[in-house]
Amino acid sequence: MSRFRIPQPAPSEITPEAVWQSRRRWLGQAAALGLVAGATPEVLASDGPAPSLPALEGKPSGRYSVMDKPNAWDDITGYNNFYEFGTDKADPRRHAGRMVTEPWTVEVGGEVLKPRTFDLDELRKLAPMEERIYRLRCVEAWSMVVPWVGYPLSALLKQVEPTGKARYVTFETALQPEVMPGVKRRIIDWPYVEGLRMDEAMHPLTLLVFGVYGKILPNQNGAPLRVAVPWKYGFKSAKSVVRIRCVEEQPVSSWMKSAPTEYGFYANVNPNVRHPRWSQATERRIGESLFAPPVRTQMFNGYGELVASMYAGMDLARDF
């Protein structure tokens, strides 16, 4: 467990907001004086969070954060998968601004004793926010490191009291065809649906995310709330969730429906199981030089000490 017990990321590993802000101010002044070559507004924009977004802070979690250096704000909010807005990595930032995120409710039901619809205010207050630096490994063999702000999904599930029949949890995400140009293409059967086994959903690493880098989530990252399951491929982490259901049978996720031989229900990061069309043994960290050697992908994305026991006795090549 040692990797996750380190009390806090070293100050050199992350840049606190005050430092970003002062760096932005300095760069701005220096640019105005012509002191920094290339310190254009774009450079400033890529340096830290957009100041226009409201703050959402969380207590830094040393227990569940990795020591890797977080990606820049610009990578995290400019290189996205959110197919509702298009398949190009730049499409979500370009189009997601029109998604309506207020008012927002999440209906939580199914095999539960106390089904309930929560509004965003209630959800934000349900449990103390934490900042957790998580790895995100996409099935497309790239990765990032993201300082999410949120709290464990278990806090929400406990509110509705799942029954003994509740063995899985499904997440249904927003569908707003008028502002989502990507849903015209039937790449998947919209709305986007994902699922977890109940023990995975209740695992302390599974985070309900409301913010990133101390700011509320930008739309392209799944505003106003999304899931982050760091030991699984990124597609399991459903964005802009509107409905959560506890169910008895293993759900069929959108990607399983679209390409059953390529995407399984578990989707645990596993360097030993190929995607049918490419290897999963290595990954490219977004933001690093294209000449940097590829990074070796770790089993369970490096979270094995915390999660491997949930899969004891399973054949992860079959249950991929």
Query: What SS3 state is found at 135?
Result: strand
Binding mask 192-231 for ligand MTE (x = CB under 6 A): x----------------------------xx---------
Distance of CA 100 to the CA centre of its chain: 20
Q: Rounded to the nearest whole angstrom, what is the least distance from the CB of residue 105 to ligand MTE in the complex? A: 17
Q: CB 246 → ligand MTE: shortest distance, Å?
A: 20
Q: Which is nearer to ligand MTE, 39 or 225 (CB)?
A: 225
Q: Least Å distance between CB 254 and ligand MTE?
A: 8
Please give the Cα distance from 24 to 30 (Å, whole number).
10
Question: What phi, psi does 263 have (nearest 5°)?
Answer: -130, 120
What 8-state DSSP symbol labels residue 111? S
Per CB under 6 A, the list member of 151, 235, 303, 320 interacting with ligand MTE is 235
Q: Cβ of 29: how many Cβ atoms within 10 Å?
A: 12
> DSSP string of 237-261?
S-SSEEEEEEESSPP--HHHHH-TT
Does 173 help bind ligand MTE (rule: CB under 6 A)? Answer: yes
Bridge partners, residue 216, by sequence: 211
SS3 179: coil
Place of tokens 């996409």: 138
> Is 80 one of the binding residues for ligand MTE (CB under 6 A)?
yes
Q: Does 311 bind ligand MTE (CB under 6 A)?
A: no
Nearer Cβ to ligand MTE, position 136 or 244? 136
Q: Output b/e per residue, 142-175; b: 16+ Cβ within 10 A.
A: bbbbbbbbbbbbbebbebbebeeebebbbbbbbe
Bridge partners for 247 per DSSP: 168
Residue 237 is a binding residue for ligand MTE (CB under 6 A): yes
Cα 316 to Cα 71: distance, rounded to the nearest angstrom: 30
Is there binding between residue 81 and ligand MTE (CB under 6 A)? yes
Residue (88 or 305) nearer to ligand MTE, CB: 88
Q: Is 234 in the site for ligand MTE (CB under 6 A)?
A: yes
Shortest reach from residue 280's CB to ligand MTE, in Å = 14
* Residue nearest ligand MTE (C-beta atom): 234
Query: Is 94 in contact with 85 (CB distance < 8 Å)?
Result: yes
Q: Which is nearer to ligand MTE, 185 or 274 (CB)?
A: 185
The answer, yes or no, to whether the previous bond of 224 is cis (omega within 30 of 0) is yes
Q: For ligand MTE, which residue of 135, 239, 243, 285 counts as binding (CB under 6 A)?
A: 239
Among 136, 201, 208, 269, binds ligand MTE (CB under 6 A): 136
User: Which positions lie near ligand MTE, rule CB under 6 A?
Assistant: 80-84, 136, 138, 173, 192, 221-222, 234-235, 237-240
